[in-house]
Amino acid sequence: MDIRITKTTAPKAKPADESKLGFGKITTDHMFLMNYDEGQGWHDARIVPYGPIELDPTAMCLHYGQADFEGMKAYRTAEGKIQLFRPMENMKRLNLSNDRLCIPAIDEEFGVKAVKTLVEVDADWVPHNVGTSLYIRPFIFAVDPLLGVHPAKHLIFCIVCSPVGAYYASGLAPVKIYVEPKYVRAVTGGTGFTKAAANYAISLKAQEVASKQGYEQVLWLDGVHRKYIDEVGAMNVFFVVDGEVITPSLDRGSILGGITRKSCIEVLRDKGYKVTERDISIDELEEAFDEGKFDEAFGTGTAAVISPIGELKYGDKVMPLTGGKIGPVSQMLYDTLTGIQWGKLEDKFNWIEPVSDQYRI
């Protein structure tokens, strides 16, 4: 399938000060669109000037949340080249989400091509400052104008891009985490392993409770026993206990399989660390903390790459970690992954996918 390109005649001004970009506040000049209609499949792939999308008020996504998304980035290297990090993994995961939500699958190779072409068209929007990047948001939503609950027959696949700032303005900073005792994010058999839009709506309440108490993120316990650790906010989580690097196993189906998580496991194994994917309970962590064996904890995700955890609060128990500093495993993973992403380190795992500039305005 070809991608029809209609360039904007009114390009927006690029951000003057890249140190003030923040996250997701501005969008680029173009967006990718493709429609699904029963009988036709996915069709009419196009890149058009960025702008509002008209929906019928009964559009299914607005009522029943049949919608999912992905999150990835384009990075500008010191030489000015633009590159993506494991984009095929995002498209595979989008189809995993699609399957769970009865959304028709996309062609994964074509999805990567769509991302690359859009980034090429908006290449000048990929920011230059150290640590900045172009955040890419592919998403799919059901638009059938019908109030009945059923799998949609008409959907839109859209990709938008947003130049984003360095996540850490002044180096890696540890975050304080609130272990959520009441609300759950996901349960076995549910949608926790997908990037279903609804997963994020139901996580807001706990985030609000945590924020009010001065904590930045929520640590989610499993929805059945309220005991095993799932994730931290919208990041996967790792613990270093007595020399072993542990991350919750994906087997329960309540955890999103992060591409950063997967990459961290590969880097750790390559460097000879002992990494275990298994269930780990909050009680085990408390015990390790009391015995002085809880060395480090960190979250992983595309936005922050590595988010070191400086403190965990579970009920009345406050567990400060690494004395406000960055643990050695967190630092090593951050340096390695960002080094590969921004082209400062050799891409020994073959994770980088270059973007050319043939469609640049």
Ligand X SMILES: *Cc1c(COP(=O)(O)O)cnc(C)c1O
- Given the rule CB under 6 A, which residues bind ligand X? 71, 195, 231, 234-236, 256, 258-261, 300-302
Report angle CA 153, 51, 68 to the nearest 5 degrees. 40
Min separation Cβ 157 and ligand X, Å: 18
Separation of alpha carbons 12 and 50, rounded Å: 10
313-317: list long-range contacts, CB under 8 Å, 24+ apart: 313/176, 313/177, 313/178, 313/179, 313/213, 313/215, 314/179, 314/181, 314/282, 314/286, 315/179, 315/181, 317/286
265: left (phi over 0), alpha (psi -120 to 50) or beta: alpha
Burial group, residue 331, by CB count within 10 angstroms (0-12, 13-18, 19+): middle
Min separation Cβ 102 and ligand X, Å: 20
Min separation Cβ 16 and ligand X, Å: 29
Among 27, 20, 8, CA closest to 121: 8
Among 299, 322, 301, CA closest to 310: 322
Which tokens belong to 292? 């002085």
> In terms of CB distance, is 193 or 359 closer to ligand X?
193
> In terms of CB distance, is 37 or 108 closer to ligand X?
108
> In terms of CB distance, is 301 or 343 closer to ligand X?
301
> In terms of CB distance, is 89 or 295 closer to ligand X?
89
Min separation Cβ 251 and ligand X, Å: 16
Which tokens belong to 66? 């049949």
- Assess contact for 263 and 257: CB atoms under 8 A: no
Min separation Cβ 161 and ligand X, Å: 16
> In terms of CB distance, is 200 or 227 closer to ligand X?
200
Min separation Cβ 195 and ligand X, Å: 5
> In terms of CB distance, is 144 or 180 closer to ligand X?
180
> In terms of CB distance, is 51 or 200 closer to ligand X?
200
> In terms of CB distance, is 45 or 245 closer to ligand X?
245
Distance spanning both ends of the chain, measured CA to CA: 22
Residue at shortest CB range from ligand X: 258
Can you point out the beta strands (E) in the chain? 4-5, 30-37, 41-49, 67-69, 72-76, 82-85, 133-142, 154-164, 175-179, 217-221, 229-232, 236-241, 244-247, 275-277, 294-301, 305-314, 317-320, 352-355
Min separation Cβ 192 and ligand X, Å: 8
Min separation Cβ 73 and ligand X, Å: 9
